[in-house]
């Protein structure tokens, strides 16, 4: 397995131990760092701004011996490189008498190119203009006796496998129009920032946000490497802050203030970034800069193992505090959307079918919040449970307990007789087939809509995003509503939301009712059992929802191939599902996702709560007749 084939590139940021004013010693330290086992499978290693001389060597930069040693140090580092790309910061005197602060890109034993710093700070503790000129207008072919021939220009892209990167230096990131804004539009998927940013109270938070937002604005990966505490501390202290961010998310971050040096190794995914750029029409439509040069040609270093972690439940934050904020926000979006729909339709009631299952339970909680927003009480909530031939006593009791705990009156309308009459009219023989199952679902929907007419209300839908992706709903039955509050909430998130509500918002009675629902197997309850137990368990029929939600997220949000999703699932669910199981349910996911699009084409309205949605009016437009046969054949060959 080579994960580089899936777009992953491993990169590293290193804040080495620096000997201020000793370029040759710094070169030896950098070369020693590159020989560490942790950096052997890394395609690019970046070192801080002016790490060859030391950022804090000040007027020593005017000395001829110092500059010659810097050139020799760069040469020694470049000579030590092979396939791996090494980026180091160093001062450099141009032949016309100017001096620049530059990042040197080294590979295959030579200097590929150099990028001069554009924004030289000259305020507060910084006075870079004492030594350096801006590289904004510099575009030179340097023919150097020690370093060889290379281009000195900020408008350069460098190959890194099938991707490309560009460089900006420290203050360039703080500039109102940072060079990276042009770099990314020219095609850079990775920005490497060589920095020497000192530490102040709260500056790390500010810096982290700058890096994170730069990666979001550029729809790129951003590798940030800053000088460490072995720089001079005469007036300021450096922490060695190292960061890798990808399209607005911090993937990895180092500790600071490490006297022995610090190292950060992580992977970014250029395939994901290209997908995000294609989907983002604003980025795609922006005017591209002219005059960029592309340097080098290389293949990615193989990655037999992946360090990057993909959570098994991508819709659910791992951090409890983050999830609490997310849950509050989701419920607020759902309830606000429903309340606005009530206002627009001048409806008097909300009509909800309560089954005692997870989805309708979440919809009940949303209805309660929506009524509170409208300054209405729960008497305007018409809750109906509709037991049929396959309804278990357990779920029927759960529906009653939920309604009672929510202070909502529950109307119980059995559908056995009406379903039997309907099947008899059809000449149905009594088999427990799809006609039998769907007749129950459609009878329930008919009653709910008729009750909405009677009470001047609207039917609140309950089906979740996972069911819509799989088409696990009856067309023109539970598939239909006046407004579906769960339309973009996946099943794994439904569970967590109900559990969070039980723990943080519900009183004892409602909490107990919610836990009872959570402990009940997921079932459509459309086939009777010989006992009072649940006869159908959904996940034994269509597979684990946590797998399907994983597939759905990476298919829609990241545009990953089936093979890439398969291998990431093996990593994320290692020890829980074997390869045969993942393959089986992945095949079913694709088959159902493609063949059930006709149900999604006619979906009712519902609020979008996250980055993944299947609304036919918004995020997902797909022909009902799309052919999935080749994809399924490909999965069979895994």
Q: Which of 29, 49, 467, 525 is catalytic?
A: 49
Q: How many Cα atoms are found within 13 Å in the side-chain-facing hemisphere of 70?
A: 29
CA 223, chain centre distance (Å):
17
Q: Which of 170, 220, 473, 498 is catalytic?
A: 170
- In whole angstroms, what is the distance from residue 208 CA to residue 239 CA? 13
Q: How many Cα atoms are found within 13 Å in the side-chain-facing hemisphere of 585?
A: 23
C-alpha distances out from residue 79 to 15, 110, 113, 115, 634, Å:
21, 6, 14, 19, 45
In order, the DSSP letters of 74-110 are HHHHHHT-SSSEEEEEEEEE-TTS-EEEEEEEEETTE
Contacts of 378 (CB under 8 A, 6+ apart): 368, 371, 406, 407, 408, 409
Identify the residue whose tokens are 């539970």: 478
C-alpha distances out from residue 217 to 175, 182, 189, 248, 267, Å:
14, 11, 12, 8, 20
Among the listed residues 344, 405, 408, the one whose alpha carbon sits nearest the alpha carbon of residue 380: 408
Active site residue 170: yes
User: To which H or E segment does residue 383 belong?
Assistant: strand 381-385
Active site residue 49: yes
Active site residue 367: no
Pairing of strands 44-46, 8-15: parallel
Residue 153 pairs with which residues in a beta bridge? 139
* Two structure tokens written together for 439: 């007749």
Q: Which of 57, 70, 106, 117 is catalytic?
A: 117
- In whole angstroms, what is the distance from residue 135 CA to residue 99 CA? 9
Phi, psi of 339 (to 5 degrees): -60, -40
- In whole angstroms, what is the distance from residue 395 CA to residue 537 CA? 13
C-alpha distances out from residue 593 to 605, 622, 628, Å:
20, 10, 9
Q: 217-246 b/e with 16+ CB inside 10 Å = b?
A: bbbbbbbbbbbbbbbbeeebebbbbbbbbb
Among the listed residues 190, 195, 192, 151, the one whose alpha carbon sits nearest the alpha carbon of residue 174: 195
Contacts of 448 (CB under 8 A, 6+ apart): 351, 352, 353, 384, 459
- In whole angstroms, what is the distance from residue 255 CA to residue 239 CA? 9
For the CA atoms of the chain, what is the radius of gyration?
Answer: 30
Positions annotated as catalytic residues are 49, 117, 170
């Amino acid at each position: 397995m080579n994960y580089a084939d899936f777009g992953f590139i491993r990169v590293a940021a290193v804040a080495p131990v620096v000997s201020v004013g000793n370029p040759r010693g710094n070169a030896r330290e950098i070369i020693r760092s590159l020989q560490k086992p942790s950096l052997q499978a890394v395609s690019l290693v970046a070192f801080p701004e002016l790490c060859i001389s030391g950022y804090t060597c000040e007027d020593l930069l005017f000395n001829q011996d110092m500059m010659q040693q810097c050139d020799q140090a760069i040469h020694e580092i470049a000579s030590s490189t092979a396939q791996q790309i090494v980026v180091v910061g160093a001062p450099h005197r141009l032949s016309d008498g100017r001096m620049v602060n530059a990042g040197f890109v080294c590979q295959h034993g030579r200097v590929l190119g150099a990028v001069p710093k554009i924004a030289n700070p000259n305020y507060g503790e910084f006075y870079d203009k004492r030594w350096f000129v801006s590289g904004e207008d510099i575009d030179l072919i340097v023919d150097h006796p020690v370093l060889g021939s290379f281009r000195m220009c900020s408008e350069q892209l460098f190959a890194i496998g099938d991707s490309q990167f560009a460089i900006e230096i420290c203050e360039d990131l703080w500039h109102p129009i940072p060079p990276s804004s042009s770099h990314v539009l020219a095609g850079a998927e990775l920005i490497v920032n060589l920095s020497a940013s000192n530490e102040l109270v709260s500056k790390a938070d500010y810096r982290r946000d700058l890096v994170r937002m730069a990666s979001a604005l550029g729809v790129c990966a951003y590798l940030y490497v800053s000088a460490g505490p072995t720089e001079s501390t005469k007036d300021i202290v450096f922490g060695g802050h190292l960061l890798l961010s990808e399209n607005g998310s911090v993937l990895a971050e180092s500790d600071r203030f490490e006297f022995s040096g610090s190292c950060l190794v992580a992977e970014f995914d250029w395939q994901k970034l290209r997908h995000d750029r294609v989907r983002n029409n604003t980025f795609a439509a922006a005017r591209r800069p002219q005059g960029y040069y592309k340097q080098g040609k290389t293949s990615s270093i193989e990655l037999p193992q992946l360090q990057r972690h993909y959570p098994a439940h991508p819709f659910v934050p791992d951090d409890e505090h983050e999830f609490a904020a997310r849950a509050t926000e989701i419920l607020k979006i759902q309830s606000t959307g429903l309340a606005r729909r009530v206002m627009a339709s001048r409806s008097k009631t909300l009509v909800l079918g309560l089954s005692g299952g997870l989805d309708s339970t979440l919809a009940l909680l949303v209805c309660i919040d929506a009524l509170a927003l409208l300054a209405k009480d729960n008497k305007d909530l018409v809750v109906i449970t509709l037991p049929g031939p396959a309804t278990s006593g357990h779920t029927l009791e759960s529906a009653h307990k939920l309604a009672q705990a929510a202070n909502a009156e529950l109307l119980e309308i059995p559908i056995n007789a009406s379903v039997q009459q309907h099947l008899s009219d059809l000449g149905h023989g009594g088999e427990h087939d799809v006609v039998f199952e769907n007749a129950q679902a459609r009878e329930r929907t008919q009653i709910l809509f008729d009750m909405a007419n009677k009470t001047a209300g609207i039917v609140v839908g309950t089906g979740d995003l996972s069911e819509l992706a799989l088409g696990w709903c009856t067309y023109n039955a539970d598939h239909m509503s006046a407004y579906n509050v769960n339309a973009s909430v996946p099943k794994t998130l439904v569970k967590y939301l109900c559990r969070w509500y039980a723990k943080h918002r519900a009183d004892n009675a409602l909490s107990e009712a919610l836990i009872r629902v959570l402990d009940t197997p997921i079932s459509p309850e459309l086939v009777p059992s010989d006992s009072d137990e649940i006869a159908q368990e959904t996940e034994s029929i269509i597979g684990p929802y946590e797998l399907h939600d994983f597939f759905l997220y990476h298919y829609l949000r990241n545009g990953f191939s089936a093979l890439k999703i398969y291998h990431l699932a093996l990593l994320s669910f290692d020890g829980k599902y074997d390869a045969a199981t993942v393959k089986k349910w992945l095949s079913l996911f694709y088959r159902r996702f493609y063949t059930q699009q006709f149900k999604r084409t006619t979906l009712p309205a519902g609020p979008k709560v996250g980055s993944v949605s299947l609304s036919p009016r918004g995020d997902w437009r797909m022909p009902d007749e799309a052919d999935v046969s080749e994809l399924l054949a490909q999965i069979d060959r895994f």
